């Protein structure tokens, strides 16, 4: 077997892996390898050709490929080593990385630190259990996006889209502009999971109807999709008998959620959080295994790539500090608990003392859309943080900063973060 | 007099802004929680514009398409016409990010540019 060794191995060359590698390099780690399974870097950004990226990080609005190219250039400028067309097969708890490609064969790479940046994948028809036949013409929205934006195929001429998250909305516009007719976007929830801006610019601009509290309950067609049965759903998201109607179409796009891709993490023995689907991490994005870090969509699904960049730089910096022996552990670890109306919080633990750190940002997501609420953090009975928010949407991540002093002064080993209706 | 509604997208709150149009002028703007809502409604009502991101074909590239965008927003009503113009284009690899694909598309004074490098196959 071909044996190699690196101080830091980054698995995944998308926005998370690139930012993490860049930051680790800038913090003084020079012996870095990025492993990417595709033929080029950039990850999913290469197929996200729409604009809207980079407003936070670069202060200007970029398309996905432009955002990716900036990081690809900065990694190239630093001379960071990259293996493309290379698939990682296994990561061990001792940080041996097994990978394979067609020029070097099987690789055994001894790493001092590993950053997991594998991203996420889409939920499928099977994940949401749509009954009916199994004809051609059923695609996940991201697959259709790659066909249309990178490979030059239009998947169909008459489409129904299930799921009104941002990918579903953006694909409605792409299908329409490329000449297909989009019959409807269906959303099982009573609210859209997408940004208001996308509802207006992707659906309203082209008179594409958004139908809330509705879903596909049957797919028709033998060789090719011929149509779908749509039903209204009740408050428990169950189809209401008698509300079915038929929509003729040749294509069904599913935009029904993303799952962090953690097969490698699990095999390494990294502990996962059932709420995020990603590893449990501390504030530096270290997983339950020392020296293994996670960032980007493999950790939790982000709504903005700008936040992926921010988080990945943090993971890259922590990995560098670990390699340089600059991290002290706190005496007591602090568990961060997602309380009332919070679906998850990252990091789940605060365990380190870092000399030059000023604050720790908690990323959290609300469980449901709410107005006029307070975000409260409790340290036992004591209130640590209390801030009013006018609007909370599950689609939009909330950042809460904890100052270093607040962390130093903690009384308990557990803090709880919750969202409470004002006046309640 | 006509009662109109536009949802402001200047920030994630998304205020539903109601207003009246009298003799081609906007009056009685209501529902916006900040001054941005007013500016947004006026632009969006009289001259809505959008950036158009799409793709054009490429000969002999590592991929058959390269993504492009209008450098500035163009009038919303021209989006579909611009798509037809861009469908006629076929570039030759290599392509560089920022290469002008169509100059002054549909007399808008806006260029369409490539949004990534695309190497030769």
Q: Which domains does chain A have, with CATH numbers?
A: 1-121+258-325 (3.50.50.60), 124-256 (3.50.50.60), 329-424 (no CATH)
Q: What pLDDT, on the 0 to 100 scale, is given for residue A423? A: 77
Q: How far apart are CA A89 and CA A106, in angstroms?
A: 10
Question: Per-residue pLDDT for A19 more than 70?
Answer: yes
Nearest C-alpha neighbor of A140 from the set A251, A14, A59: A251
Are residue B38 and residue B66 in the same domain, yes or no?
A: no
Q: Chain A contacts of B59, Cβ < 8 Å?
A: none
- Please name the member of A50, A51, A65 whose beta carbon is closest to the beta carbon of B116: A65
B121 is a domain residue: no
Average pLDDT of the segment spanning B68-89: 97
Q: Chain A contacts of B14, Cβ < 8 Å?
A: 196, 391
Are residue B70 and residue B109 in the same domain, yes or no?
A: yes
Sign of CA dihedral B87, B91, B97, B100: negative
Q: How far apart are CA B88 and CA B65, in angstroms?
A: 13
Burial of B46 (0-12, 13-18, 19+ CB in 10 A): exposed
Q: What is the domain count for chain B?
A: 2
B100 is a domain residue: yes
Are residue B108 and residue B92 in the same domain, yes or no?
A: yes
Q: Chain A contacts of B116, Cβ < 8 Å?
A: 46, 65-66, 68-69
CA distance A271 to chain B (A): 34
Q: What pLDDT, on the 0 to 100 scale, is given for residue A390? A: 87
ipTM (interface predicted TM): 0.92
Q: Which bin fits A167, alpha (ψ -120 to 50), beta or left (φ > 0)? A: alpha
Q: How far apart are CA A261 and CA A275, in angstroms?
A: 14
B31 is a domain residue: yes
Are residue B59 and residue B80 in the same domain, yes or no?
A: yes
CATH, residue B74: 3.10.530.10
Are residue B36 and residue B79 in the same domain, yes or no?
A: no
Are residue B61 and residue B103 in the same domain, yes or no?
A: yes
B60 is a domain residue: yes
B120 is a domain residue: no
Backbone phi, psi, residue A111, to 5°: -110, 140
Q: Which bin fits B100, alpha (ψ -120 to 50), beta or left (φ > 0)? A: beta
pLDDT in tens, A31-44: 999 999 999 999 99
Q: Which residues of B touch A (CB under 8 A)?
A: 7, 9, 12-14, 33, 50-51, 53-55, 57, 62-65, 67, 69, 76, 79-80, 83, 97, 115-117
CB B59 within 8 A of CB B89: no
Are residue B40 and residue B59 in the same domain, yes or no?
A: no
Average pLDDT of the segment spanning A62-83: 98
Task: Tell me the CA end-to-end span of chain A in Å, nearest whole number.
Answer: 63
Sign of CA dihedral A160, A164, A168, A169: positive
Q: What pLDDT, on the 0 to 100 scale, is given for residue A265? A: 98
Q: How many CB pairs under 8 A join A and B?
A: 69
Are residue B11 and residue B33 in the same domain, yes or no?
A: yes
* 8-state DSSP, A48: -
pLDDT in tens, A280-302: 999 999 999 999 999 999 999 99
pLDDT in tens, A201-231: 999 999 999 999 999 999 999 999 999 999 9
Residues in chain B: 121
Are residue B33 and residue B74 in the same domain, yes or no?
A: no
CATH, residue B16: 2.20.25
Name the residue range of residue B73's domain: 53-114
Are residue B65 and residue B35 in the same domain, yes or no?
A: no
Nearest C-alpha neighbor of A101 from the set A83, A114, A122: A83
Q: Which residues of A touch B (CB under 8 A)?
A: 39-40, 46, 49-51, 61, 63-66, 68-69, 148-152, 177-178, 195-197, 200-201, 205, 390-391, 393, 396
Residue of chain B with shortest Cα separation from A202: B50
Are residue B39 and residue B82 in the same domain, yes or no?
A: no
Q: What pLDDT, on the 0 to 100 scale, is given for residue A113? A: 98
Are residue B57 and residue B110 in the same domain, yes or no?
A: yes
Min mean pLDDT across A94-108, A260-274, B22-36 is at B22-36
Question: Per-residue pLDDT for B115 more than 90?
Answer: yes
B119 is a domain residue: no
């Amino acid at each position: 077997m071909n044996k190699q060794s690196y101080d830091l191995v980054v698995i995944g060359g998308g926005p998370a892996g690139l930012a993490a590698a860049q930051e680790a390099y800038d913090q003084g780690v020079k012996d870095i390898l990025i492993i990417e399974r595709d033929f080029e870097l950039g990850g999913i950004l290469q197929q996200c050709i729409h604009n809207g990226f980079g407003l936070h990080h670069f202060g200007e609005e970029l398309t996905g490929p432009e955002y990716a190219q900036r990081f690809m250039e900065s990694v190239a400028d630093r001379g960071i080593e990259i293996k493309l067309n290379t698939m990682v097969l296994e990561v061990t708890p001792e940080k041996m990385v097994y990978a394979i490609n067609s020029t070097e064969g099987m690789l055994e790479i001894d790493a001092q630190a590993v950053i997991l940046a594998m991203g996420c994948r889409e939920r499928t028809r099977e994940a949401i259990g749509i009954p009916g036949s199994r004809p051609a013409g059923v695609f996940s929205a991201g697959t259709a996006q790659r066909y249309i934006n990178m490979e030059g195929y239009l998947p169909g001429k008459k489409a129904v889209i299930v799921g009104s998250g941002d990918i579903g909305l953006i694909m409605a516009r792409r299908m329409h502009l490329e000449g297909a007719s989009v019959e409807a976007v269906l959303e099982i929830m009573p609210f859209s999971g997408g940004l208001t801006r996308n509802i207006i610019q992707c659906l309203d601009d082209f008179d594409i109807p958004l139908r809330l509290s509705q879903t596909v309950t049957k797919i028709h067609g033998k060789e090719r999709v011929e149509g779908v049965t749509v039903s209204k759903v009740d408050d428990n998201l169950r189809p209401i008998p008698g509300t079915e109607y038929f929509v003729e179409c040749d294509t069904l796009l599913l935009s029904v959620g993303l799952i962090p891709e953690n097969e490698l993490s699990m095999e390494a023995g990294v502990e996962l959080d059932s709420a995020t689907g990603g590893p449990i991490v501390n504030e530096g994005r270290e997983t339950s295994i020392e020296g293994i870090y996670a960032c980007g969509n493999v950790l939790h699904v982000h709504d903005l790539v700008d936040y992926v960049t921010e988080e990945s730089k943090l993971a890259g910096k922590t990995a560098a500090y670990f390699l340089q022996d600059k991290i002290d552990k706190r005496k007591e670890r602090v568990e961060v608990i997602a309380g009332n109306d919070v679906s998850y919080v990252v990091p789940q633990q605060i365990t380190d003392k870092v000399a030059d750190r000023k604050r720790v940002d908690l990323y959290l997501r609300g469980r449901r859309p709410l107005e006029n609420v307070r975000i409260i953090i409790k340290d036992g009975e004591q209130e640590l943080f209390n801030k009013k928010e006018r609007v909370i949407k599950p689609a939009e991540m909330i950042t809460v900063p904890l100052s270093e002093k607040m962390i130093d002064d903690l009384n308990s080993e557990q803090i709880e973060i919750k969202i409470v209706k004002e006046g309640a | 007099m006509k009662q109109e509604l536009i949802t402001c997208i200047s920030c994630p709150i998304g205020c539903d802004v109601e207003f009246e149009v009298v003799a081609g002028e906007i009056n009685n703007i209501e529902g916006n929680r900040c001054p941005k809502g007013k500016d947004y409604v006026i632009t969006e009502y009289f001259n809505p514009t959008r950036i158009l991101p799409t793709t054009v074909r490429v000969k002999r590239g590592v991929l058959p398409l390269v993504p492009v965008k209008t450098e500035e927003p163009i009038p919303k009503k021209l989006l579909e016409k611009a798509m037809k113009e861009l469908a006629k284009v076929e570039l030759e690899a290599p392509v560089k990010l920022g290469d002008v694909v169509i100059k002054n598309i549909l007399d808008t004074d806006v260029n369409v540019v490539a949004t990534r490098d695309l190497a030769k196959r």
